[in-house]
Amino acid sequence: MTPSPVDHVEIHPLLAAALDQLPAMVEVRRRLHRIPEVGLQLPLTQQVVMDALRDLGLEPRPGGTTTAVTAVIEGVHPGPTILLRADMDGLPLREDTGLDFASTHPDAMHACGHDTHMTMLLGAARLLLDRRDRLAGRVLLMFQPGEEGFHGARFMLDEGLLVDGPHGAAGVERAFALHISTRYPTGTIGLRPGSMMASSDTIRATIKGRGGHASAPHIALDPITVAAELVLALQVAVTRSIDVFDPAVLTIGKIAGGTTNNIIPESVEIQGTMRAVSAATRDTLHALVRRVAEGVVAAHGAEIDLEIIHGYPVLVNDVEVAGWVEDLARTLLGPDAVERFASPIMGAEDFSYVTEAVPAVMAFVGAALPGSDPATVAQNHSNRVVFHEQAMAAGAALYAAAALDFLHGTTDAADATDATDAEAGDA
């Protein structure tokens, strides 16, 4: 189903309604912020989400092998399903923000804003439940653990997220996710059609030489010099083998080997990350790393145990869906509130598994504190990052606007106008 354009007169009052419920959203967000959990098992977080959904009159459904949560909002008319997603997990960081609602868990923090993501989706659910009579179809709410490197979205898909059953719903024809960021002004939306975020894969390798005395390297086989040459060779290979208009990044972030200054070690460990913004370049990069690593090491008579660990695929925004979200955001937040990114972001996101399965889009919602400088402000994954909570109103309203527009049902323009006028008075 491709929905026809509808009169968006109800969307501005949606933002007003979201702002009206912002104090309640802030309370939920701060409760979640205090109890960050890492990975796929988030029992405290899951309980808060499930309690909030029950308070809305919904029936939350826990995941099978993880602490995922799903819930379905049924419209009053039949139709397709739209999926709205929020991730739930924190990061293994010690918070240093000075906030009076800072993490109570010493080695965990919501440093990527997933507490705000859950809150925005819960806020959107309330907005949608107040407008169920305009929904022709279903809204599948996806609360996902394990985004930070644990493949949580893949677990949910494997358990049946996109089929009718205890962990999902069938008929999903469109999916939408938001991600908060301090890099952009509060309440603005940033996205792009096509490749939005990079793939992320890990290199792990052990270079094996022959240990010996540092004064006689000709008798030993020094793995440190081989590792040093390999790091440089990989950087040169990427610049000479990858199309600059379909880019890739390869960074070696760890070299470990040796015990003291006068001993040549037996082996050296290296670790790194690879990023690409197309599946083709990702495959090329994998083959390139293997070829260069094996060649450099063989040239010195050493050996290598090389492992390439597949991480998240490229997150590709559906072109049609991205344009649709742009139009909704401009109508909701103003024509200057939307930025189309010129290039992909080299970070990775496991919502990419969803974008591979259904037409979908991820967008960023700005949450910079007033007066902050995006060039110097603490950003996502910093233990000092602070998000402007007012941005949650824009996110909740945009989530709700997407569902209302896609599942617009039989409501005609006159009915929509009447309903909107009433909402504007209430707000």
Location of structure tokens 């050996």: 303
Buried b (16+ CB within 10 A) or exposed e, 348-374: bbbbbbbbbebbbbbbbbbbbeeebee
How many angstroms separate the CA atoms of 399 and 248, rounded?
Answer: 32
CA-based nearest residue to 63, from 167, 215, 197, 191:
167
Position 297, amino acid:
V
| DSSP line for 227-283 | HHHHHHHHHHHHHHHS-TTS-EEEEEEEEE--SSTTEE-SEEEEEEEEEESSHHHHH
Position 25, amino acid:
M
Tokens linked to 70 = 């799903």
CA-based nearest residue to 314, from 228, 202, 195:
195
Partner residues linked to 91 by β-bridges: 109
How many angstroms separate the CA atoms of 338 and 326, rounded?
Answer: 7
How many angstroms separate the CA atoms of 355 and 196, rounded?
Answer: 11
How many angstroms separate the CA atoms of 169 and 83, rounded?
Answer: 9
How many angstroms separate the CA atoms of 414 and 418, rounded?
Answer: 6
3-state secondary structure of 383: coil
Q: Which residues are catalytic?
A: 312, 389
Measured in whole angstroms, the distance separating CA 150 from the mean position of its chain's CA atoms is: 12
Other Cβ atoms less than 10 A from the Cβ of 276: the count is: 27
How many angstroms separate the CA atoms of 382 and 385, rounded?
Answer: 5
Position 74, amino acid:
E
Give the length of the chain. Answer: 427
Cα-only R_g, the chain: 24
Sort 59 into a burial class: Cβ within 10 Å, 0-12 / 13-18 / 19+.
exposed
Measured in whole angstroms, the distance separating CA 389 from the mean position of its chain's CA atoms is: 19
Return the C-alpha torsion angle 237, 242, 243, 244, nearest 10: -70
Other Cβ atoms less than 10 A from the Cβ of 414: the count is: 9
